[in-house]
Amino acid sequence: MTSLLLQVENLTIGFPRAEPVRNLSFEVRAGETLAIVGESGSGKSLTALALMQLLPRAAAVISGRIIFDDRDLLGLDAREMRHLRGRDIAMIFQEPMTSLNPVMSIGRQIGEVLKAHEKLSGRAARERAIELLKLVRIPAAEKRVDDYPHQLSGGMRQRVMIAMAVACRPKLLIADEPTTALDVTIQAQVLDLLDTLRRELQMAVVLITHDLGVVAQWADRVVVMYAGRKVEQALPGELFNDPLHPYTRGLLSASPRLKHDFHYLEGPLTEISGSIVSAAGEVGCPFRPRCCQARASCGHQVPPLIAQTPDRLVACPFTSSLKAVPDAAHLSL
Ligand SMILES: Nc1ncnc2c1ncn2[C@@H]1O[C@H](COP(=O)(O)OP(=O)(O)OP(=O)(O)O)[C@@H](O)[C@H]1O
Ligand SMILES: [Mg+2]
């Protein structure tokens, strides 16, 4: 049984007038890739930032617990969190150009991480930076270490971000849409690299993405979020072959890339009408206004998550059926 690395329990994140993440619970096991999917505005990035304790100033964790490696992160002070961030939990962001310092060579930027967490400086830091550039498959690393971000392609800049993130061999890497800004062939290379590093460094990855093709190829388990809540959780095979929540079904039906691979997906592409609306003050299922199966009772309360197995949860009482879960071999993609 794989050990639990991170447990998020009933996390609610609030701004003064909204709670964009509500009662969110999920866990990450050592060494696995957990994908979090959901459309724009569903609260994925805020969740990631809460794990790092880097929420925007106006936002706060209203309630919940974040247990990482047996410690409640919300109980740590700023110094303890600084110590942990970048060393035990690291994060890579969507747009590497805005995350890298344009006036500092990439070697020095990687060196800053090593200086902060491993007390390396000077020649030792430079040598380690070169090793890390090699680790992320940057060709001619000895020369490239002195380059500035603008001298690198988008894919290479993202590799540098990954090098900085894994510099201290974190146990958990949070990748928030790490390849959205890259073209498709480079996306696959970067995701392959992340997966290889996950295995080599034995780290867990939380992979935040819009892209269901990415989920199918790289995730061990999937959490589907809608309007700040978890609406479904499954293994990828279960999710793509037998999605239970009406939102997940809509999401898959709107996805062109998976149509030939999974038998749920046949027929024309369809959209989910409407958009995520702020549910402030609303009662009932947040997906109700867009759900073609909504009934009067959906307005009474937020549907609780129904579990068939610990990994198969759905927040809708009207799914067609909660079938017996086929054996794992059948589900592997
Ligand atoms: N600094 C902020 N001030 C006010 N509201 C915010 C702020 N940051 C995020 N929000 C709101 O919180 C909600 C969730 O945002 P979040 O960035 O987590 O979404 P997301 O799922 O990451 O979306 P995307 O896929 O577009 O990145 C959105 O409705 C967003 O408008
Ligand atoms: Mg986001």
Q: What is the structure's pLDDT at 182?
A: 81
Residues framing ligand 1 (Cβ under 6 A): 15, 20, 38, 40-46, 56, 58, 210
Residue 162, pLDDT score: 93
Helix then strand then coil, in percent of the chain rounded to 5, is 35, 25, 40
Residue 114 half-sphere exposure toward CB, CA atoms < 13 A:
22
Kindly list the domain boundaries of the chain, sorted by start residue: 222-258+285-333
When pLDDT is averaged across residues 68-87 and rounded to a whole number, the result is 93
The pTM score is 0.89
Ligand 2 centroid, distance to 211 Cα (angstroms): 13
**Quick check: 183 pLDDT over 90?**
no
pLDDT score, position 213:
85
Ligand 1 atom at shortest distance from the alpha carbon of 228 = 14
Partnered with residue 15 across adjacent β-strands are 18
Residue-wise pLDDT for 271-324, tens only, equals 777 766 655 556 899 999 989 888 888 989 999 999 988 889 999 998 864 443
| Greater model confidence, 158 or 283 | 158
Query: DSSP character for 290?
Result: G
| Atom number of ligand 1 nearest to Cα 210 | 25
Q: Helix 154-166 vs helix 184-201: angle between axes, to the nearest 10 degrees? A: 20
Which of 11, 21, 46 is the pocket-test mutation for ligand 1 (most atoms within 8 Å of CB)? Answer: 46
Using CA atoms, how far residue 42 sits from 23, 76, 231, 276, 323, in Å, is 13, 27, 11, 8, 28
Pick the more confident residue, 115 or 254.
Answer: 115
pLDDT of amino acid 258:
53
**Ligand 1, pocket-test mutation among 22, 37, 39, 45, most atoms within 8 A of CB:** 45
Look at phi and psi of residue 314 and say left if phi exceeds 0, alpha if psi is from -120 to 50, else beta: beta
Q: Which atom of ligand 1 is nearest to 94's Cα?
A: 27
